[in-house]
Amino acid sequence: MDFTLSKYRELLNALDACEQATLRHDVDRKPLNSLETARIEREMGWSATYYFRTVPESFDPAVILQIASLGHEIGYHYESLATCHGNLEAAYEDFCRNLDRLRALVPVSTISMHGSPKTKWDSRDLWKHYDYHSLGIETEPYLDTDFSKTFYLTDTGRRWDGFQVSVRDKIPEYQDQWTKNGWVYHSTDDIIQAVRKGSFPKHILVNTHPQRWTDNQWQWLVELTSQSLKNVVKRLVIKKNF
């Protein structure tokens, strides 16, 4: 079975062979799942960045503090332009307000856009009008990563080739080249086998959604079923908007 915690351990073991592997996590919901992956990473000598939304299904102060205490970085998973329906001024105020909420718990110097696939608003567009660096933010991985040198791998859609169903969690400028290189993987085992064969990229940024990773059979089945339905909706959104 894929997307179990035991499979996640296997993935981390495989990624040890990469010259540079950076781990980030989008905590969209089920923050306790993130605490589990954070503990595994600490045990295995990894550090990661956990991006928390400021909605009730993600924002759990106790979990945030525990993950930070394990040596991981905490970031803000913002969606302000989407929640404010494209109103730039309101979105910036919302962003600053929620950033302060998170900073009241832990230091925050990195942010990452939440895709909000059901809306037409891309929250990264906020930075066409404002400068997040002026707020003490050092990094927005979608905007500050050199993807000509770093391969982006994400489990969006509960699959590693989810760029085919993702609305925004993808790097379209480089995906065609990565596909030509053969860097397309569906399952976690596909990644592990590629690493063992020596055909896997050496510099990668890996993004996971810990809500998907669990050894609880009921939660695993619910996530599989719900994500399969979401992927159908995402395909319809992509067809309508793009």
Which CATH number characterizes residue 100's domain? 3.20.20.370
**Which of 84, 85, 119 is CA-nearest to residue 98?**
84
Q: What is the pLDDT of residue 242?
A: 45
Q: pLDDT tens, 119-160?
A: 999 999 999 999 999 999 999 999 999 999 999 999 999 999
Q: Which domain holds residue 140?
A: 5-241
Provide DSSP, 36-53.
Answer: HHHHHHHHTT---EEEE-
Sheet with 73-78, side-by-side order of all strands: 111-113, 73-78, 49-52, 20-27, 203-208, 151-154
Instruction: Confirm if 145 and 152 have CB atoms less than 8 A apart.
Output: yes
Q: What is the DSSP string of 172-234?
A: HHHHHHHHHTT---SSHHHHHHHHHHT-S-SEEEEEE-GGG--S-HHHHHHHHHHHHHHHHHH
pLDDT range class, residue 166, cuts 50, 70, 90:
confident
Q: What is the pLDDT of residue 172?
A: 94
1-52 residue pLDDT tens: 999 999 999 999 999 999 999 999 999 999 999 999 999 999 999 999 999 9
pLDDT 10s digits, 84-105: 999 999 999 999 999 999 999 9
Instruction: Give tens-digit pLDDT for 176-227.
Output: 999 999 999 999 999 999 999 999 999 999 999 999 999 999 898 999 888 8
Q: Is the pTM of this model over 0.75?
A: yes
- What CA–CA distance (Å, rounded) separates 17 from 196? 9
Q: For the chain, what is the domain count? A: 1
